[in-house]
A and B are shown apart, each in its own frame.
Chain A
Amino acid sequence: MLSRTERTSALQWLGKQLFNREDPAAFFDPLLERINPMWVQQYTPARVERIEDETADTKTFVLKPAKRWDGFKAGQHVNICIDIDGVRRNRTFSLSSAPAQWHSNGMVTLTIKRLPGGLVTNWMHDNLKPGATIGLGEAFGDFLIPEAGEPLLYIAGGSGITPVLSQLETLAAANYEAPVTLLYFVRTQADIIAAQKLYELRQNWDTLTLNIIATNESETPRFLKDVDLDEVSGIEQRRCYLCGPKGLMDLATALLTQRGISEERMHSTFFAAPKAALDTDALGGEVRFSTSDIRVSSEGDAPLLDIAEAAKLSPRYGCRMGICHQCSCKKTSGTVVNRLTGKSSGPGEENIQLCVSVPQGPVTVEL
């Protein structure tokens, strides 16, 4: 008997012969979509079941992915795709529900805040209705809960609470016994996302300490302070999870490092296009797009994706912040700096993410 993988590769070979494409099943999508949008093969469709208001500018979208979706671990994110005015837009959001919920009723939630000027988030708030289908990718990311029963500290800001919600719910359901503290920074009390859920968790789960801090309710902004950390008992032994705006994360990282907490015990995930400090003097150079034979010069102030688009090329892209790898592309020569990590690549042929790679000297990209 053929194993499953052998059978699929034989089928894939045949599919390629018959339909000339890497995803032969998706050949039928245009027809399937009409019969039942949940049968689409090109991406995993997810039906919008409900939309709930969290705060004035945040909503939770309850989705039911098609059965073949592989599921996720608490703290992971997904790419979603939505057609807006004819253009397919890919964005990355973290799942705010616990995997247990998906196992029990097949539902997952995305909790999404309107971004000022944000095309996709605003469109979702204004136009997405229950009954519609959106595309869902497989979950990814290594912002995961620990295996051992270690004491934990979460520092979250604004909509950075979403992957934390998924983790807290999962830990509570497992009756996690070690102490867990959440420091949650919000602008005002009205901006607390999933307030009810957080209060319920505190009530039913003894080891959770909840500290919600409003930053903008006094005359001077009230940011994360060292005293906030003093209140966390046994902080040196805690595994720390950070998620929120870059300012908060930088501050938290600095304060925690001062207390001798090692990098290995700090986990972070971010959802704003990061602008890592770059030594711009060393950046920039001639970029050659070899497939289209276009040469442009780079000042080192823009990632390759922007440079390619300015040169009228249309590379595939997704999140534009280095997460989804839709824009991965082969670099054949030269060095690039990864904006996220600040690290330089090797000089040879390798796959790079266009959206976070800034040229460091002359670069050739297969595009």
Chain B
Amino acid sequence: MKQMNEAQLNELEKDLNAIRDEVLADLGERDANYIRRVVRLHRALEVGGRVMMPFGFIPPVFVAATAMLGVSKIIENMEIGHNVMHGQYDWMNDPSLHSQTYEWDTVCTGDSWRLTHNYEHHTYTNIIGKDRDYGYALLRLSDDEKWRPAHSLQFINYILLSVFFQWGVGLHELEFERIRRGEISLKEKLPFLKGFFRKGGRQAFKDYVFFPLITFPVAPIVLAGNIGANLIRNLWSSTVIFCGHFTQDAETFTEEECEGESKGHWYLRQLTGSSNFSGNRFVHLLSGHLSYQMEHHVFPDLPAHRYPEISEKVQAVCKKHGIHYNTGSFARQYGTVLKRILSYSLPDRLREKWTALPQSA
């Protein structure tokens, strides 16, 4: 991480707080209208997709219905669920958009997400050993972790994690790696598992039992479409999230260097540990504005649709303090993610050889 002295860190804190205060003072009808419009879009897409799905025996209708349902799930998970649960819209005092009670359309329960994501990941971002989102205890993504032969096949793990992403996220709180190491017992996790099975069962019942069953003659088509929609959502959200912290220039940190850190240091860590990607309005909406991951990590509870407009101010602050503003096209950023997953599957000596090779642009 870039070294900054205490005075510089205080200055960084002041600069970022100023941006935050300006947005907070300006929150109002515009933000309420925005999120309500997105919620309306989600409802329309979901209702449309569900109604069209039974007519999926016509191939173009099948494609359209699956895409609509998939996109509706993406919007609900990314722009609505994730952001609402961060408390971005708590100030609206609308019970259906309240962080503590919102329950989203995915296997992970809201409570589990509020703990593992809002608290753990956002507090300990990219601190190896503390941020369990870093590699999801499945992947080796930095040389902070020693290479083991099992890592050589980690690309397969990555593909499986992406395909079953909602189940992986849902089970994240289980801390399977710690159970395997004998640090905690399965019994301690029973309350969590109860919630996981209830929510997971509910999600599976809806998409794989209820909707196919009520459209009985075409049940296989509806089942296939619903599986397809969940798959689209899983692959996309996994990809967006991997682009957030695992790109080439996203840094990692040790527990020692973050011990007793100041708010300014926390800000610096959020900026240097995160990465953005560019795109059009639609890409930002579908990524829940996690395409502005740096802005999100610095201001997790500001309404996400504000990130594009504050991005320029954040960039100016980065420039002033000599902090790398990590962004690039989606393809470029994702390319570096894949390269990281692959290169760290190799033993250090091979990896060093590979990265030493001249890279094509």
Contacts and interface: CB of A to CB of B under 8 A. Distances in A.
Interface string B182-211: 000000000000000000001001100010
A20 B202 contact: yes
B103 interface: yes
Contact of B210 (A18, A21, A34, A89): A18
Given A20-B104, A31-B44, A87 B91 contact: yes
B90 interface: yes
| Residue among B28, B33, B93, B103 facing the most chain A CB atoms (10 A cut-off) | B93
A86 B92 contact: yes
B229 to A, nearest CB: 15
B40 A30 contact: yes
A23 B97 CA distance: 13
B28 A86 contact: yes
Given A20-B202, A89-B93, A31 B40 contact: yes
| Residue among B27, B28, B43, B98 facing the most chain A CB atoms (10 A cut-off) | B43
Interface string B205-219: 110001000000000
A345 to B, nearest CB: 23
A314 B91 contact: yes
B30 interface: yes
B39 A30 contact: yes
Contacts of A88: 92-94
B31 interface: yes
| Residue among A28, A86, A291 facing the most chain B CB atoms (10 A cut-off) | A86
B95 A316 contact: yes
B29 interface: yes
A86 B94 CA distance: 9
B105 interface: yes
B29 A86 contact: yes
B43 A27 contact: yes
Contacts of B40: 30-31, 34
A184 B32 CA distance: 43
Contacts of B311: none
B96 A42 contact: yes
B87 interface: yes
Interface residues of B, number: 31
A26 interface: yes
A20 B105 CA distance: 7
A86 B32 contact: yes
A290 to B, nearest CB: 13
Contact of A86 (B31, B96, B98): B31
B202 A30 contact: no
B100 interface: yes
Nearest to A90: B93
Task: Please tell me the size bucket of the interface on A.
Answer: 20 to 34
Nearest to A293: B119
A82 to B, nearest CB: 11
A88 B94 CA distance: 6
B19 interface: no
Nearest to A17: B202
B27 A86 contact: yes
B137 interface: no
A314 B90 contact: yes
Nearest to A16: B202
Contacts of A316: 93, 95, 98
A185 interface: no
Contacts of A17: 202, 205-206, 210
A85 interface: yes
B34 to A, nearest CB: 9
Contacts of A20: 103-105, 202
Contacts of B95: 42, 316
A349 interface: no
B347 to A, nearest CB: 42
Nearest to B87: A314
Interface in A11-64: 14, 16-18, 20-21, 23, 26-31, 34, 42
8 contacts: A18-B210, A20-B103, A28-B43, A28-B47, A83-B32, A86-B30, A316-B93, A317-B93
9 smallest CB-CB distances across A and B, nearest first, come from A86-B32, A314-B90, A30-B40, A20-B103, A88-B93, A86-B29, A85-B28, A86-B28, A30-B39
Given A83-B32, A291-B100, 12 more contacts: A18-B206, A18-B210, A21-B96, A85-B28, A86-B27, A86-B28, A86-B91, A87-B91, A87-B92, A87-B93, A88-B93, A316-B93
